[in-house]
Amino acid sequence: ATDSDFEFFSELRPGDRVSLTEVVEDISEEKTTGLGVGHFVTTLKTYRNGDDEIVATQRWRTLRFRPKSADAAAEKKPASGPIPGLRPRPALNADNAFWFEAAKAHRLVIQRCASCGTLRHPTGPMCGQCRSLDWDTVDAAGRGIVYSFVVNHHPQIPGFEYPLVVATIELEEGTRLIANMTGVAPEDVEIGMPVELDWIDADPDLTLPAFRPAAREDS
Ligand SMILES: [Zn+2]
């Protein structure tokens, strides 16, 4: 239960050092809402560039609430946002759409700097090593290990099955990504476990990489 207003004041340039401050502007009295009882918290984020000029501000109003019950919370949905029963949509933009498009074709791609060759994920416009804006992609082999993971029990969001394993996978190419796991019980997931690529075709518009325990390499 969040909404925000974004205002831009000046352009950023490559090399700008951006700072962010956030202040709590307001906390409402206790309110009873359809979601539960809670407070509306308003915060103001201010982004500044290296000359201490304000680049943008973002005011967030978030309802911090106690769900009426876990079941009621699972059924409720914001007026905008998730489509009932489906996984949340990724926020697509010019810097990440290629990655999700490749996933629809069951290709796990990794963004690569076209100048220095450094691989990066999450996707982004600029190389963190050499600041080049030129990039292409390589196809991941689809092998890696579980670098870390959590098992999510609550809050339960429609479109997912719980308990839900959310893992950080380290690919053999060196980049890491967050993914769910398939073909393994949550209690059997271990850090360091070798994994291989699988796919979750969540719905006609959304395919996401997932990882399952790697097949044994016998003989
Ligand atoms: Zn580079």
Phi and psi at 72, nearest 5°, equal -65, -40
194-218 pLDDT tens trace: 999 999 998 888 999 999 999 876 5
CA distance to 121, 161, 166, per residue, from 178 (Å): 10, 17, 7
Phi and psi at 167, nearest 5°, equal -115, 145
Distance 96 CA to ligand 1 centre (A): 18
143-160 pLDDT tens trace: 999 999 999 998 888 888
Q: Can you tell me the distance from the alpha carbon of 57 to that of 16, in angstroms, rounded to the nearest whole number? A: 17
CATH for 2-75? 3.10.129.10
Distance 99 CA to ligand 1 centre (A): 19
Distance 52 CA to ligand 1 centre (A): 28
Distance 117 CA to ligand 1 centre (A): 6
Distance 133 CA to ligand 1 centre (A): 8
Among residues 63, 66, 19, 67, the alpha carbon closest in space to that of 42 is found at 63
Distance 32 CA to ligand 1 centre (A): 51
81-115 pLDDT tens trace: 556 778 888 999 999 999 999 999 999 999 999 99
Q: Which amino acid is at 190?
A: E
The residue ranking higher by pLDDT, 31 or 104, is: 104
Instruction: With cut-offs at 50, 70 and 90, classify the pLDDT of residue 70.
Output: low
Residue 104: what pLDDT? Answer: 95
Distance 108 CA to ligand 1 centre (A): 20
Q: Residue 176: pLDDT above 60? A: yes
Q: Which amino acid is at 141?
A: A
Q: Which residue ranges make up each domain of the chain? A: 2-75, 97-213
Distance 114 CA to ligand 1 centre (A): 7
Distance 119 CA to ligand 1 centre (A): 8
